[in-house]
Chain A
Amino acid sequence: MAQSAATHVEGHQQHPLGIYIGVWILLFVLSGFSYAVDYFHLQGMLRWTLILLFMFLKAGFIVAIFMHMAWERLALIYAILLPPLCLLVFISLMSIEGDYTYLTRLIVFGPAEAIVEPHH
């Protein structure tokens, strides 16, 4: 019943079930890894790098396979995936501003406010 090759049927997209099951299992595995990062109390750079890595991998597989983006035309792919890159600018601006606010608070309200392990 399941077709073994990807078929483009009148613009519809039909792909072998196996690829969805495979990605599904992969998502569980990646989620397990993400949870393990916290369970094993990893800290610092290693923690953040792994959190981000697993997050982007999961997001990538969901968008590419579950949402069929991998099989869409380039025009649609770029129209949807390029604009969010502007958010990187926004993130940079707001994190710079956040640091400024934090330092200003320390100066104005005194270092007594900052208890062990300030921001994060």
Chain B
Amino acid sequence: MTEQTMTANEGDLQEKAGLTGLVEDWSEDKQAFHVPWGKAMMWIFLLSDTFIFSCFLIGYMNVRISTTVPWPSPSEVFALSLGGEPIPLILIAIMTFVLITSSGTMALAVNYGYRRDKKKTVLLMLATAALGATFVGMQAFEWTKLIMEEGVRPWGNPMGAAQFGSTFFMITGFHGMHVTAGVIYLIVIATRVGTGFYDRHRGGNYEMVEIAGLYWHFVDLVWVFIFAFFYLW
């Protein structure tokens, strides 16, 4: 009883420690998650998206395990020649760098959003979007190189197992699509922050920035897995 305190906001109960709090939350008759609706929904969407990407990655795992023809070596396929020397995975390393930077700018944007610093929030969100667009551009370059120069097709390629192309295009294609959608999403939210939409219609509540941030970090998270399983393995 002494651990329980009511905050001034809608009677939200202070969470009790450990499993007691867990059981209490789930036992409530109105809501289980003491977070804004939008945030809970975004998390649940991301959970579903996790399963979708997992299906693709597990499918890729399966075809790679079962192929009797050697799988093309990603170090060689994705090497770029700089100054005459092929550097393995350099473009992928740069893409990873870009996406992690964008996650950083997004985290800062969320932080400044809660401080109600509109200008910094908008700038950081647009920086995040720009980095995301850069990432997609580099991925498009990679696709162009593989399709036009290396002859990679969903049904075969000259370098090894025929399934390489289909798994590569499917996985990176879906990821790139998510990044693109995220870029658009970020621009929309940034514009709303900048024009004072959340001051007029949400009473100065910038939760939407954090929710957009969750989506963006998820996109980076998926890339961490793709980078490890597809390019490094």
- Binary interface encoding of chain B residues 89-122 relative to chain A, with 1 for a CB under 8 A from any of its CBs, else 0: 1000100110010011011100100110000000
Complex Cα gap A115–B25 (Å):
57
Cβ < 8 Å to B, chain A residues 78-112:
78-80, 83-84, 87, 90-91, 94-95, 97-99, 101-102, 105-106, 109
Inter-chain contacts of B70 with A (CB < 8 A):
115-118
Nearest Cβ on chain B to A4's Cβ, whole angstroms: 14
Q: Name A90's contact: one of B54, B64, B67 (CB within 8 Å).
A: B54
Nearest Cβ on chain A to B65's Cβ, whole angstroms: 3
Complex Cα gap A79–B221 (Å):
18
Q: How many residue pairs at the A-B interface have CB separations less than 8 Å?
A: 178
Inter-chain contacts of A14 with B (CB < 8 A):
111, 114-115
Complex Cα gap A95–B26 (Å):
36
Whether B40 pairs with A76 at a CB distance below 8 angstroms is yes
Whether B68 pairs with A99 at a CB distance below 8 angstroms is no
Nearest Cβ on chain B to A80's Cβ, whole angstroms: 5
Instruction: Determine chain A's interface SS by DSSP, over half rule.
Output: helix
Instruction: Determine chain B's interface SS by DSSP, over half rule.
Output: helix
Q: Name A34's contact: one of B15, B71, B227 (CB within 8 Å).
A: B227
Whether B71 pairs with A74 at a CB distance below 8 angstroms is no
Residues of B within 8 Å of A, CB-based: how many? 66
Inter-chain contacts of A114 with B (CB < 8 A):
68
Complex Cα gap A88–B64 (Å):
18
Cβ < 8 Å to B, chain A residues 50-87:
51-52, 54-55, 58-59, 62-63, 65-68, 72-76, 78-80, 83-84, 87
Seen from chain A, the residues whose Cβ lies within 8 Å of a Cβ on chain B are: 1, 9-15, 17, 20-21, 23-24, 27-28, 31, 34-35, 37-39, 48, 51-52, 54-55, 58-59, 62-63, 65-68, 72-76, 78-80, 83-84, 87, 90-91, 94-95, 97-99, 101-102, 105-106, 109, 113-120
